[in-house]
Amino acid sequence: MSLKKQYLIANWKMELLPKEERALLEKLPLVLKKKKKSLKVIVCPSFVSLVSATQIKKYSSAIFDVGAQDCHWEERGAYTGEISAKALVSLGCRYVLIGHSERRVHNNEDETVLRNKLQAAFNARLQPIFCIGETRDDRTNGKTLSRLRQQLSSAFSNCTMKRNQLICIAYEPVWSIGSGTPLNADDLTKEIQFIKEWLTTHLSSHPHVVLYGGSVDERSVSNYLSPKTGIDGLLVGSASQSVKRLSKIVSLMSLS
């Protein structure tokens, strides 16, 4: 069961200093002034700016939610440099990215680690945004759908969730992220349909949304939001890290 609400996830990665993130957060009332009610905006700054983000959300007129870029699978322990899902919730976070391809590649996060993180988020009542996607070799060799199936099956096998738990999947072709070469919107239909059919078949009691991410910017937003793609929203990286570009994306999504 797919939802009609649209999602915009702004992933600021490790691109901005805390003072730059705060400046952008303080401009969100202006950026989101003309946002349509059905557009849910989730800002994912670096860990050091989560407190600023939740405070600004609390006291400003801007309507947005705060997400983290990762979490650990344990509630507490001797894990230097990590942060638990429970700690994120205590800060006011409601969402967390899990399985982003940059962490799969640079941090060697395998399917077991990601499944444990997913379960930790569910246990803490933190909404995960689970990222999946194929490599260039997968696509060249016609293995895109089998890769997506494997990632979904591994992540949600034996995963315990409350009834009606929202499932949020971000499809991001690994080869496209940060390349400046987004996947053509016309080529997305098959992948998005496959993901939604898998969710409907295997997690039928849970509502779901499927987002797209991969070099999305203000020039390509309108194409991705065409009804024929079936996309429920966008995961945006570099294009969400400036007031001007983020404002343009919000405006375009509010018109769709």
Domains of the chain: 6-255 (3.20.20.70)
The catalytic residue among 21, 109, 172, 218 is: 172
C-alpha span between 198 and 131 (Å, rounded): 15
Q: How do residues 35-72 score in pLDDT, each as one tens digit?
A: 999 999 999 999 999 999 999 999 988 899 999 999 99
Task: Give the SS3 label for residue 142.
Answer: coil
- Amino acid at site 127: Q
Q: Is 100 a catalytic residue?
A: yes
Q: Is 208 a catalytic residue?
A: no
The catalytic residue among 21, 72, 100, 102 is: 100
Alpha helices in 28-168 (DSSP H): 28-31, 50-59, 85-91, 101-106, 111-123, 136-140, 144-156
Task: Look at phi and psi of residue 246 and say left if phi exceeds 0, alpha if psi is from -120 to 50, else beta.
Answer: alpha
Q: How do residues 189-234 score in pLDDT, each as one tens digit?
A: 999 999 999 999 999 999 999 999 988 999 989 888 888 889 999 9
The average pLDDT across 233-239 equals 96
pLDDT category of residue 187 using cuts at 50, 70 and 90: confident
